[in-house]
Protein backbone atom coordinates (compact mmCIF):
# COMPACT_ATOMS: atom_id res chain seq x y z
CA UNK A 1 0.00 0.00 0.00
CA UNK A 2 2.74 2.48 0.98
CA UNK A 3 4.80 1.32 -2.02
CA UNK A 4 1.92 2.13 -4.39
CA UNK A 5 1.51 5.54 -2.76
CA UNK A 6 5.21 6.35 -3.15
CA UNK A 7 5.16 5.14 -6.77
CA UNK A 8 2.09 7.28 -7.51
CA UNK A 9 3.76 10.35 -5.99
CA UNK A 10 6.97 9.77 -7.98
CA UNK A 11 5.05 9.38 -11.25
CA UNK A 12 3.05 12.55 -10.53
CA UNK A 13 6.23 14.48 -9.74
CA UNK A 14 7.89 13.27 -12.95
CA UNK A 15 4.88 14.24 -15.08
CA UNK A 16 4.70 17.64 -13.39
CA UNK A 17 8.42 18.33 -13.92
CA UNK A 18 8.32 17.35 -17.59
CA UNK A 19 5.19 19.43 -18.23
CA UNK A 20 6.89 22.54 -16.86
CA UNK A 21 9.49 22.70 -19.63
CA UNK A 22 8.05 21.79 -23.05
CA UNK A 23 10.17 24.36 -24.90
CA UNK A 24 13.35 23.12 -23.24
CA UNK A 25 12.52 19.52 -24.18
CA UNK A 26 11.84 20.60 -27.75
CA UNK A 27 15.08 22.58 -27.73
CA UNK A 28 17.19 19.60 -26.68
CA UNK A 29 15.51 17.34 -29.22
CA UNK A 30 16.36 19.99 -31.81
CA UNK A 31 19.91 20.09 -30.46
CA UNK A 32 20.36 16.37 -31.12
CA UNK A 33 18.91 16.69 -34.63
CA UNK A 34 21.05 19.72 -35.29
CA UNK A 35 24.20 17.90 -34.23
CA UNK A 36 23.48 15.28 -36.87
CA UNK A 37 22.81 18.05 -39.39
CA UNK A 38 26.10 19.71 -38.56
CA UNK A 39 28.15 16.62 -39.26
CA UNK A 40 26.24 15.89 -42.44
CA UNK A 41 25.87 19.32 -44.01
CA UNK A 42 28.17 21.99 -42.63
CA UNK A 43 31.19 22.83 -44.75
CA UNK A 44 33.25 23.98 -41.79
CA UNK A 45 35.95 22.27 -39.79
CA UNK A 46 34.72 20.48 -36.68
CA UNK A 47 35.82 23.24 -34.30
CA UNK A 48 34.35 26.06 -36.42
CA UNK A 49 31.17 24.05 -36.98
CA UNK A 50 30.73 23.60 -33.24
CA UNK A 51 31.40 27.30 -32.63
CA UNK A 52 28.84 28.37 -35.24
CA UNK A 53 26.25 25.93 -33.92
CA UNK A 54 26.78 27.06 -30.31
CA UNK A 55 26.67 30.72 -31.34
CA UNK A 56 23.36 30.10 -33.16
CA UNK A 57 21.84 28.45 -30.08
CA UNK A 58 23.04 31.22 -27.79
CA UNK A 59 21.91 33.91 -30.24
CA UNK A 60 18.46 32.32 -30.54
CA UNK A 61 18.19 32.44 -26.74
CA UNK A 62 19.18 36.13 -26.72
CA UNK A 63 16.69 37.05 -29.44
CA UNK A 64 13.94 34.92 -27.88
CA UNK A 65 14.41 36.71 -24.55
CA UNK A 66 14.42 40.19 -26.13
CA UNK A 67 11.48 42.37 -25.14
CA UNK A 68 12.07 45.25 -27.56
CA UNK A 69 13.46 46.05 -30.99
CA UNK A 70 16.47 47.60 -29.28
CA UNK A 71 17.22 44.35 -27.45
CA UNK A 72 16.89 42.38 -30.70
CA UNK A 73 19.38 44.74 -32.39
CA UNK A 74 21.72 44.43 -29.40
CA UNK A 75 21.57 40.63 -29.62
CA UNK A 76 22.38 40.71 -33.35
CA UNK A 77 25.26 43.11 -32.72
CA UNK A 78 26.61 40.82 -30.01
CA UNK A 79 26.50 37.85 -32.39
CA UNK A 80 28.55 39.68 -35.04
CA UNK A 81 31.16 40.64 -32.45
CA UNK A 82 31.81 37.01 -31.52
CA UNK A 83 35.59 36.77 -31.45
CA UNK A 84 36.08 33.12 -32.44
CA UNK A 85 34.30 33.38 -35.81
CA UNK A 86 34.21 36.06 -38.48
CA UNK A 87 30.53 36.88 -38.90
CA UNK A 88 29.32 38.78 -41.96
CA UNK A 89 25.66 39.25 -40.90
CA UNK A 90 23.31 38.27 -38.12
CA UNK A 91 19.61 38.66 -38.83
CA UNK A 92 16.23 37.83 -37.37
CA UNK A 93 12.86 37.54 -39.08
CA UNK A 94 9.78 37.32 -36.89
CA UNK A 95 6.76 35.20 -37.73
CA UNK A 96 4.81 38.49 -38.02
CA UNK A 97 7.13 39.84 -40.74
CA UNK A 98 9.50 42.15 -38.85
CA UNK A 99 13.11 41.87 -40.06
CA UNK A 100 16.30 43.01 -38.34
CA UNK A 101 19.85 42.72 -39.65
CA UNK A 102 23.26 43.72 -38.34
CA UNK A 103 25.18 45.38 -39.78
CA UNK A 104 22.21 47.20 -41.25
CA UNK A 105 21.66 47.38 -44.99
CA UNK A 106 19.14 48.78 -47.41
CA UNK A 107 16.53 46.22 -48.46
CA UNK A 108 13.71 46.60 -50.97
CA UNK A 109 10.54 47.95 -49.42
CA UNK A 110 8.64 44.76 -50.26
CA UNK A 111 11.33 42.44 -48.81
CA UNK A 112 9.74 39.65 -46.77
CA UNK A 113 12.23 37.32 -45.11
CA UNK A 114 9.41 34.83 -44.49
CA UNK A 115 9.37 34.11 -48.23
CA UNK A 116 13.13 33.44 -48.46
CA UNK A 117 14.66 29.94 -48.47
CA UNK A 118 16.62 30.40 -45.20
CA UNK A 119 13.40 31.24 -43.33
CA UNK A 120 11.28 28.56 -44.99
CA UNK A 121 13.91 25.82 -44.63
CA UNK A 122 14.65 26.72 -41.02
CA UNK A 123 10.96 26.69 -40.11
CA UNK A 124 10.70 23.23 -41.67
CA UNK A 125 13.89 21.81 -40.14
CA UNK A 126 14.48 23.92 -36.97
CA UNK A 127 18.22 24.04 -37.78
CA UNK A 128 19.25 24.73 -41.37
CA UNK A 129 22.60 24.97 -43.10
CA UNK A 130 22.57 26.54 -46.58
CA UNK A 131 25.07 25.39 -49.16
CA UNK A 132 28.22 27.51 -48.85
CA UNK A 133 28.43 30.28 -51.44
CA UNK A 134 30.84 32.96 -52.61
CA UNK A 135 29.87 36.47 -51.54
CA UNK A 136 29.60 38.72 -54.61
CA UNK A 137 31.14 41.73 -52.86
CA UNK A 138 33.96 40.20 -50.80
CA UNK A 139 34.57 37.14 -53.02
CA UNK A 140 34.82 35.05 -49.83
CA UNK A 141 33.09 31.78 -48.93
CA UNK A 142 30.08 32.11 -46.62
CA UNK A 143 28.23 29.49 -44.56
CA UNK A 144 24.71 30.30 -43.40
CA UNK A 145 23.01 28.71 -40.41
CA UNK A 146 19.37 29.30 -39.54
CA UNK A 147 17.75 28.36 -36.23
CA UNK A 148 14.20 28.73 -35.01
CA UNK A 149 13.69 31.19 -32.16
CA UNK A 150 11.30 30.40 -29.32
CA UNK A 151 9.70 32.28 -26.50
CA UNK A 152 7.48 30.83 -23.79
CA UNK A 153 4.61 30.49 -26.30
CA UNK A 154 6.49 28.66 -29.07
CA UNK A 155 8.25 29.59 -32.31
CA UNK A 156 8.46 33.34 -32.90
CA UNK A 157 10.83 33.51 -35.88
CA UNK A 158 14.18 32.59 -37.39
CA UNK A 159 17.70 33.73 -36.55
CA UNK A 160 20.25 33.56 -39.36
CA UNK A 161 24.01 33.89 -39.15
CA UNK A 162 26.34 34.21 -42.14
CA UNK A 163 29.93 33.28 -41.26
CA UNK A 164 33.05 33.42 -43.40
CA UNK A 165 34.53 29.95 -43.86
CA UNK A 166 37.75 30.76 -45.74
- Cα(120)–Cα(113) distance, integer angstroms: 9
Give the distance, in angstroms, between the CA of residue 25 and the centroid of all CA atoms in the same chain.
Answer: 15
Question: What rounded mean pLDDT belongs to the chain?
Answer: 79
pLDDT reported for residue 37: 43
The residue ranges of the chain whose pLDDT is under 50 are 1-42
pLDDT confidence of residue 128: 96
Closest CA to 127 of 95, 160, 153, 86: 160
**pLDDT at position 45, please?**
66
The predicted model scores a pTM of 0.73
Q: What pLDDT is stored for residue 44 in this prediction?
A: 57
User: How much is the pLDDT for 133?
Assistant: 92
CATH superfamily, with its number, for domain 2-164: PAS domain (3.30.450.20)
Give the start-to-end residue ranges of the domains of the chain. 2-164
pLDDT digits (tens, 9 = 90+) for 6-44: 333 333 333 333 333 333 333 334 444 444 444 334 455
Amino acid sequence: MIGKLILTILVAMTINMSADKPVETNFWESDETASETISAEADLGDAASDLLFNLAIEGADWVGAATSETEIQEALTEITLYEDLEIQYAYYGSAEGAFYIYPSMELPEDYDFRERPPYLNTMAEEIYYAEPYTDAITNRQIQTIGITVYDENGIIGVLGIDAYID
